[in-house]
Chains A and B, each alone.
Chain A
Amino acid sequence: MKNILTLLSGLIFGLGLILSGMTNPAKVIGFLDITGLWDPSLIFVMIGAISIAFFGFKLVKNKSQTVFDEPIHLPGKAHISKELVIGSLLFGAGWALAGFCPGPALVALGAGYKKAFIFVIALIVGMYVHDHLFKACKKTNLH
């Protein structure tokens, strides 16, 4: 049951991305291009999503386990680091270049777009380089 609900969550997430227009990189770039002909739609996606998820997260706020007895894992909220800011800046730059962030790229990949496939492969390589080479390298330098 919990696996079906997880699959359903991924499915609804994707349907929301498609309906909202965010799977179209040209539309995302239309939002990021504030000095061009600006399309503010992305703000409405965020307002819609947060207006619902706010209550979802509120519901689990004081709970440590789900109804399926699994721990509820929520990351910390306060820690601000150099990595957080620099990483987010790099992400934002890449986001603007292609108009893709990870979710919409995976949906477009599922729809059979070859260019989305190229982006997703590079995305996975970038993640791997950070988590398995860059971070490991930093760890050895610290010792």
Chain B
Amino acid sequence: MHFSINWLDFTPGASLIGGMLIGLAASILVIFRGKVAGISGIVAGLMETGSLSQGHHRWRVMFLIGLVGSSFVYQLFAPLPVINIEASKSTLIIAGLLVGFGTRMGSGCTSGHGICGLSRLSTRSLIATISFMLAGFIACYLFLHTI
């Protein structure tokens, strides 16, 4: 096992600025809407029915329209960066099921726990973030280097 950095693909500047935009978006949502920008929770909340608070679905739909439409807006200013999905269709299905089930069981994903939770200094989110990062490293190693 050796350790080396991929300097060619490393984009500290763009990633830092992109990250700051994500932080800005999360701030806007909590300040003006009182909600946490956790994508898995926002999506899953759309499937809830029954006695829900007023506007339960409305803010989720508005946020998701912005998110899903972002590539269109980006392309008005610059060509869209490459999106390289190497996984096969069956791998994507397994991965999607794991991500869907896992984020609901763990109450959050990279955005809700990794960004919002850590920004709030939540111990719960720190444990979640360490758990999914660790599982990600191990699964990646097993998937790419052993199978």
Contacts and interface: CB of A to CB of B under 8 A. Distances in A.
B72 to A, nearest CB: 7
Interface string B108-145: 01110111111111111101110111111111110111
Interface residues of A, number: 116
Q: Is chain B's interface secondary structure helix, strand, loop, or mixed overall?
A: helix
Given A36-B144, A40-B5, A55 B27 contact: yes
A97 B70 contact: no
A37 interface: yes
Q: Is chain A's interface secondary structure helix, strand, loop, or mixed overall?
A: helix
Contacts of A24: 81-84
A143 interface: no
Nearest to A124: B100
B84 A75 contact: no
Contacts of B97: 94, 122-123, 125-126, 129
A47 interface: yes
B20 to A, nearest CB: 4
Interface of B: 1-6, 9-12, 14-37, 39-40, 43-44, 47-48, 55, 58-59, 62-74, 80-87, 89, 91-107, 109-111, 113-125, 127-129, 131-141, 143-145
